[in-house]
Structure 1
Amino acid sequence: MDMLKSEDLSEQYDSSDTLAEDDQDIKNADYSPSGKSKRRWGRWIVMAIVPLTLIAIGGYFWLTSGQSVSTDNAYVQQDRVSVAAEVGGRIIETNVSGNDLVKEGDILFRIDPAPFEIGLAQANAAIAGAEVQVQALRTTAAGTSVDISAAREDIAFAQATFERQQALMQRGFTTRADFDTAQHAVEQARERLRQAQADAAEAQSFTANARSMPGENPAIAAAKVQREQAQLNLSRTIVRAPSSGWVAQADRLQIGQMMVSGLPALTIVSDKKTWVEANFKETALTKMQVGQRAKITFDAYPDIKLKGHVESIGAGTGSEFSVLPAQNATGNWVKVTQRVPVRIALDDISPRPLIAGLSAEVTVDIRTKGK
């Protein structure tokens, strides 16, 4: 019983304390006109914050709308060079593989040079043969002058013999047969002189007159051209990088593989020139001009934002240069907004390597004036 009485007394004390606190709050409450005004202004401020915020956001978008055009149909582009062997043959050495970085002039692979070394030896032999032939013609030309002198001596001797036979024939001391023989000898001597003169003219035409260039016989010149071609083919067995960049599509570059002249063996993606090709809708080109500033972001590197400018606007839509262009002059025609490739030059240097084909997003500020 004593415990119950004590609990009831404690509850009475607690309730009395609570009532005392409430009475104190009521006494402290400000029911003056100034207090009511403050509470009223606070409610108005709270109610005005939301619409003012919406108005500010809407005004920002209204002021900034129409000042830029953007597209996410954009990709990184780089120059690509297909490297092919200029001579055919078997690959005996490879110095690169896929994704290797090479510099201009680096050796990519070698082709078996043995057949081309044989061709060079044949060309050198052809030059030697042509020189021997020219020397023989010169010797022949020198010998024809001797033949001409001998032919003239024969003519003089035959003419003298003929005159003696003619004198004897007039006196009757010789026969008709001897006279005819002497006359025939004169004619033969004259024919030998004409033949010697013709041989001399032919030899001189090969040694002096018929020349492809001053001081050089055409046979020797042709043999030298053949040697130059053989040397060129031999030098082409070493295939070098035409430009610096990254090696790609090098699957066919295997030792023992037979290379066909003109067939691409690998591709070099140049690291010197990088740009972005953005395919804008035709409706976005209304105010776009060459030289306008642009901002580029990349899906692969979200933290990288580069500056650039419009370098050129494509001469035709993408569909015009496709393998099978659309035929709009048909009955089932549906108007489709076309896209035009726009080349964006990069003004900043990327801190990370830009890979050809990476997706990008381009925003062009059409407020700026172009060139």
Structure 2
Amino acid sequence: MNARAKTPAPGEAEPVSTPITAAAGPAPAAKKPGGRRRLLLMVSVPVLLAAVGGYFWLTGGRYIDTDNAYVQQPKVSISADVSGRIVSVAVTDNQMVKAGDVLFGIDPEPYRIALSQADAALAAARVNVEQLRVALSTASAKLTAAQQTLDIRQKEWDRKSSLQTQGLAAEASLDDVRLALQAAQSSVALEQQDVASATAALGGNPEIKTDDHPAVLAALAAQQNAARNLAKTTVIAPSDGIVSQVGSLNVGQFIATGSTIATLVETGNIWVEGNFKETQLGGLAAGMPAEITVDAFPGIKFKGHVDSIGAATGAEFALIPAQNATGNWVKVVQRIPVRVVVDDANSEPLRAGMSAVVSVDTKAEVAQAH
């Protein structure tokens, strides 16, 4: 049923008519709080992208880097110059040593005896030279006497010959004088040979110094060699570094001459061998500055410079070089070793074999290109 409106009875409330108000218009829109920030981002992001893009455009190709790099240090093989039995060991494995520090000692007694023998041989050689001087003086004196005798025999011969020519002496009286003259001449000739022999024994120089004589020089060289061998029984470090692989070096062990028994890694000379791709070599040159990071010391950057570029790839120096002339050959980018010297490596204990990353700055070539 539909409701029907009826007239209110007396005493009932009168219906209240509500005035119709005008329709309200749309409320003003509130400002969004992120508008200014959005505007700032819209302006700054393109500027930042442009700056980054410009930086990469300007520096594109300036830095050439490789992570195929390793720290290198000179490694000296320690060996003995003389053979013998070890009597003392003064170092332990991985010990830091200075140049001249004693590493180990070899029994010196056999070499001390050899030095004494060499000293005696040197003294005997010097005595022999003095004896040769005396022999030369004796031969010279005999030669002088023979020459004086020859002069007398020659005068006697001349006098007898003159008398015989004048008919005052018989021919037979000249025979004895002739024989005496010939004997004196022969004696002079023999004494001259003795003098020549004694002079030759003195090296052809009668005034030669004793220590300049060949026999003395030979004995002196033998004595110096014996002294050197005695000194070499004490093995010292050739340079500063860390000695390693000495675990098998024991007292009582016999070692032969030249056998390697330890290794010394020199800490004063450090470089990094970076294996750059052959396609990167066009922008590399000796003297370029480089930046080196080592995996063992993250966050630390070492300064260096390119020292030299390898003459060939590592495969070319292999015992059995790779043979690429095959039917199913696949081209592989080769790598060339580049020696990068570390300029400030004293601050951190770098060790040979550590992995490194090398970045070479080719700014000079980039500046020329632009």
Task: Report the TM-score, using the length of structure 1 for normalisation.
Answer: 0.71
Query: Which of the residues 237, 246, 253 maps onto 2:242?
Result: 246
**Contact 1:291/1:370 (CA < 8 Å) preserved in 2?**
no
Of 73, 82, 85 in structure 2, the residue corresponding to residue 90 of structure 1 is 85
Q: Kindly tell me: are residues 313 and 33 of structure 1, through their superposed partners in 2, closer, same or farther at Cα, counting changes over 3 Å? A: farther
Shift of 1:242: 1.2
The answer as to 2:258 corresponding to 1:262 is yes
Q: 2:68 aligns with which of 47, 52, 73?
A: 73
Map 1:207-246 to 2 at 5 A.
207=202, 209-210=204-205, 216-246=212-242
Aligned to 1:196: 191
Q: Does residue 298 of the first structure (1) align with residue 294 of the second (2)?
A: yes
Question: Given the superposition, is the C-alpha separation of residues 308 and 213 from structure 1 closer, same or farther in structure 2, using an over 3 Å criterion?
Answer: same
Aligned to 1:198, what secondary structure does the other structure show? helix
Task: Quote how far apart the aligned CAs of 1:76 are.
Answer: 0.9
**1:284 alignment partner in structure 2:** 280
Instruction: Verify the 8 A CA contact 1:110 1:239 in the aligned structure 2.
Output: yes
3-state SS of paired residue (1:129) = helix
CA distance in 1, matches of 2:186, 2:207: 33
**How many Å apart are 1:309 and its aligned residue?**
3.5
Q: What is the CA–CA distance in structure 2 between the aligned matches of 1:285 and 1:182, rounded to whole Å?
A: 101
| Structure 1 residues 192 and 288: CA distance shift in structure 2, 3 A | closer
Task: Check the 8 A contact 2:287/2:306 in 1, yes or no.
Answer: yes
- 1:195 Cα offset (Å): 2.3
Q: CA deviation at 1:152?
A: 6.2
How many residues end up aligned between the 2 structures?
331
How far apart in 1 are the matches of 2:194 and 2:116? Answer: 34
Distance in 2 (alpha carbons) for counterparts of 1:131 and 1:350: 55
Any idea what the Cα deviations from partners look like across 1:217-264, whole Å, max 9, x if unmatched? 322222222212222222222222111011122244322222322222
Q: Which amino acid aligns with 1:363?
A: S
Q: Which residue of 2 aligns with 1:360?
A: 356
Gap regions ≥5 residues in structure 2: 1-25
Matched-pair contact (CA < 8 Å) for 1:291–1:369? no
Residues 241 and 266 of structure 2 are in contact (CA less than 8 Å); yes or no, is this contact kept in structure 1?
yes
- C-alpha contact 2:132 2:198 (8 A) present in aligned 1: yes
Q: CA RMSD in A?
A: 4.4
TM-score scaled by length of structure 2? 0.71
Equivalent residues of 1:292, 1:365 under 8 A apart: yes
Deviations 1:148-184 (A, max 9, x none): 46656877689979x7xx99xx99x9xx9x9988876
| 3-state SS in 2 of match to 1:108 | strand
Q: Taking every aligned residue pair, what percent have the same amino acid on both sides?
A: 40
Partner residue in 1 for 2:137 = 142
* Structure 2: distance between partners of 1:212 and 1:328: 72
Measure how far apart 1:129 and its partner are.
1.6
Deviation at 1:83, TM superposition (A): 2.3
- Paired AA for residue 266 in structure 1: A
Q: Return the offset for 1:190.
A: 4.5
Give how far 1:131 is off: 2.4
Match of 1:340 among 336, 342, 346: 336
Determine the C-alpha separation between the residues in 2 that align with 1:210 and 1:180: 41
Distance 1:370 1:234 in 2: 61
Deviation at 1:311, TM superposition (A): 3.3
Letter in 1 for 2:265: V
Alignment equivalent of 1:122, drawn from 111, 117, 124 = 117
Maintained 8 Å contact 2:63/2:360: yes
**Secondary structure, in 3 states, of the residue corresponding to 2:326?**
coil
Q: Is the 8 A contact 1:319 1:326 kept in 2?
A: yes
